[in-house]
């Protein structure tokens, strides 16, 4: 699928063709996205919103068109509900501060899950420390899926927010967010979805899902770094205070005080990343040109193929084996005597054969602790990967295991 659109895939690493299987960390960029960045700086770079001159108006139009494209891409009711941020982490920190200021008081509770990335743990821990609130988490069942019965038991009148990953960046498992949202809403509790690993891989419709907030990153969905999105339902965003001051977020500033701009600008202090939003728009168009049905089917097939091939290697233990995954697989390899081959050693030998896989805790230390290992080897797919990448990875892994056993 469209490998030729991604110039970096022609690179060699250690004199081997690059096999890029680290898409959960960041995806590669199609030529259309790379060209968009160059086009912006060559032809219409100018600060947006307040300029009367031509370039500023062009830049403003491109930025606001990108906002509309993002809104349509995730099925938001209005582009006013799309806040541009630096990425998922920035979106979650913004929400934690803003929601925390307005809605969290001493003794209140926030629920996350056992599979969260640190970006969906630490901002809530910081908020809880500030407000003397309590952070709880939904535990895992034996099969490494979320324990929804336990979640029901955690919800109570003190619960003010649930914030969960849609897809685990370690296990690749797809959390039952529809069910979580339904249960939370029945208790009047809003839900934030960390979509960092789902938005690049599946069709999202925030209105059908009925989530209150959604955070995601441009760079994991074939867009540039430094741009991301916080979606929020208008009713919520209108209630929440800004998390940063300065620039476009003001209405009027007097020594006596400041009034704030309307949505979405209230949450966009400082010069926005208008080149990033334009390039993100191109990434969205790129995904749309292929179509979600084709992307989802291709990645589903590839992930299943890789899991099947991995399971055929002696000593490989796949986490959440057999559970449907969205483009991510984590595993470890154990020797005859059940001792773990350190994932770092496997990653190093894979790299020497041109295969980019990630090893370690994947910024999800509580989950890795739960798994009882120092880390895992993780492979993750993008729409340009194909079976030849999986075959090259499996051959490289077999060689690595042979050398390390
Ligand atoms: N949440 C999840 C589930 C992730 O996988 C990641 C990145 O890997 C993040 C949040 C943080 O994303 P970013 O570094 O783009 O802010």
Mean pLDDT confidence for 75-101: 98
The residues, any chain, with a CB within 8 Å of residue 87's CB and separated by 6 or more, are 217, 218, 219, 225, 226, 227, 228
pLDDT band for 51, please (50, 70, 90 cuts): confident
pLDDT band for 337, please (50, 70, 90 cuts): confident
Taking the centre of ligand 1 as the mean of its atom positions, its distance from the CA of residue 348, in whole angstroms, is 23
Closest CA to 368 of 169, 203, 175: 169
Residue 89 Cβ contacting ligand 1 at under 6 Å: yes
pLDDT at 338 (0 to 100)? 82
The residue assigned the tokens 């003010």 is 160
pLDDT at 1 (0 to 100)? 61
Phi/psi of residue 400, nearest 5 degrees? -60, -45
How would you classify the pairing of strands 16-17 and 12-13?
Answer: antiparallel
Mean pLDDT confidence for 202-218: 98
Mean pLDDT confidence for 151-157: 98
Residue 136 Cβ contacting ligand 1 at under 6 Å: no
Residue range 65-81, pLDDT digits in tens: 999 999 999 999 999 99
The model's pTM is 0.98
Whether 220 has a pLDDT exceeding 90, the answer reads yes
Mean pLDDT confidence for 72-99: 98
Q: Quick one: which atom of ligand 1 is closest to the CA of 116?
A: 3
pLDDT at 22 (0 to 100)? 98
The whole-chain average pLDDT of the chain stands at 97
Mean pLDDT confidence for 314-326: 97
Whether 279 has a pLDDT exceeding 90, the answer reads yes
pLDDT at 256 (0 to 100)? 97
Is 290 within 8 Å of 244 (Cβ atoms)?
no
Q: Tell me the helix, strand and coil percentages in the chain, rounded to 5.
A: 45, 20, 35
Measured CA distances, 367 to 10, 144, 267 (Å) = 35, 10, 32
Question: Which percentage of the chain shows pLDDT scores above 70?
Answer: 100
pLDDT at 296 (0 to 100)? 97
Q: What is the CA angle 231-235-239, rounded to 5? A: 95
d(CA 284, CA 222): 8
Q: Is 42 known to be catalytic?
A: no
Is 329 within 8 Å of 379 (Cβ atoms)?
yes
Residue 119 Cβ contacting ligand 1 at under 6 Å: yes
pLDDT at 50 (0 to 100)? 76
Residue 263 Cβ contacting ligand 1 at under 6 Å: no
Mean pLDDT confidence for 275-298: 98
pLDDT at 207 (0 to 100)? 98
pLDDT at 405 (0 to 100)? 87
Mean pLDDT confidence for 306-326: 97
pLDDT band for 233, please (50, 70, 90 cuts): very high
Q: Encoding tokens for residue 40?
A: 């912006």
The residue whose C-alpha atom lies closest to atom 5 belonging to ligand 1 is 169
The residue whose C-alpha atom lies closest to atom 14 belonging to ligand 1 is 89
Is 16 within 8 Å of 353 (Cβ atoms)?
yes
Q: Encoding tokens for residue 271?
A: 């010069």
Q: Which of 170, 220, 378 to mutate to test the pocket of ligand 1 (most atoms within 8 A of CB)?
A: 220
Q: Which of 122, 163, 196, 276 to mutate to test the pocket of ligand 1 (most atoms within 8 A of CB)?
A: 196
């Amino acid at each position: 699928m469209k490998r030729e659109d991604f110039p970096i895939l022609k690179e060699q690493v250690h004199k081997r063709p690059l096999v890029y299987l680290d898409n959960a960390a960041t995806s590669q960029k199609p030529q259309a996205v790379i060209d968009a960045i160059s086009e912006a700086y060559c032809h219409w770079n100018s600060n947006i919103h307040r300029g009367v001159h031509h370039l500023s108006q062009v830049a403003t139009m491109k930025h606001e068109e990108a906002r509309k494209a993002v809104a349509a891409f995730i099925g938001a009711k209005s582009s006013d509900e799309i806040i541009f941020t630096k990425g998922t982490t920035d979106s979650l920190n913004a929400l934690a501060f803003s929601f925390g200021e307005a809605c969290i008081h001493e003794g209140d509770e926030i629920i996350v899950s056992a599979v969260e990335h640190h970006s969906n743990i630490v901002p809530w821990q910081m908020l809880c420390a500030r407000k003397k609130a309590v952070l709880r988490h939904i535990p895992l069942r034996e099969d490494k899926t979320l324990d929804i019965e336990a979640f029901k038991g955690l919800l109570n009148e003190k619960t003010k927010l649930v914030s969960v990953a849609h897809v685990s960046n370690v296990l690749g498992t797809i959390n039952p967010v529809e069910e979580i949202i339904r249960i939370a809403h029945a208790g009047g509790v809003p839900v934030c979805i960390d979509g960092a690993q789902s938005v690049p891989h599946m069709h999202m419709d925030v209105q059908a899902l009925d989530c209150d907030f959604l955070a995601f990153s441009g760079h994991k969905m074939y867009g540039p770094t430094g741009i991301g999105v916080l979606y929020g339902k208008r009713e919520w965003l209108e209630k929440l205070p800004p998390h940063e001051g300065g620039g476009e977020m003001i209405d009027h500033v007097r020594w006596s005080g400041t009034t704030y701009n309307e949505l979405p600008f209230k949450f966009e202090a400082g010069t926005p990343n208008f080149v990033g939003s334009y390039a993100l728009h191109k990434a969205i168009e790129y995904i749309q040109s292929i179509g979600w049905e084709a992307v989802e089917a291709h990645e589903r097939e590839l992930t299943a193929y890789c899991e099947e091939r991995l399971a055929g290697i002696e000593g490989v233990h796949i986490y959440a084996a057999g559970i449907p995954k969205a483009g991510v697989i984590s595993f470890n390899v154990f020797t005859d005597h059940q001792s773990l081959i350190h994932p770092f050693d496997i990653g190093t030998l894979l790299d020497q054969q041109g295969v980019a896989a990630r090893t370690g805790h994947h910024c999800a230390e509580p989950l890795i602790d739960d798994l009882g290992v120092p880390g895992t080897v993780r492979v993750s797919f993008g729409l340009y990967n194909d079976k030849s990448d999986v075959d090259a990875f499996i051959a490289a892994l077999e060689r690595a295991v042979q050398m390390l056993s």
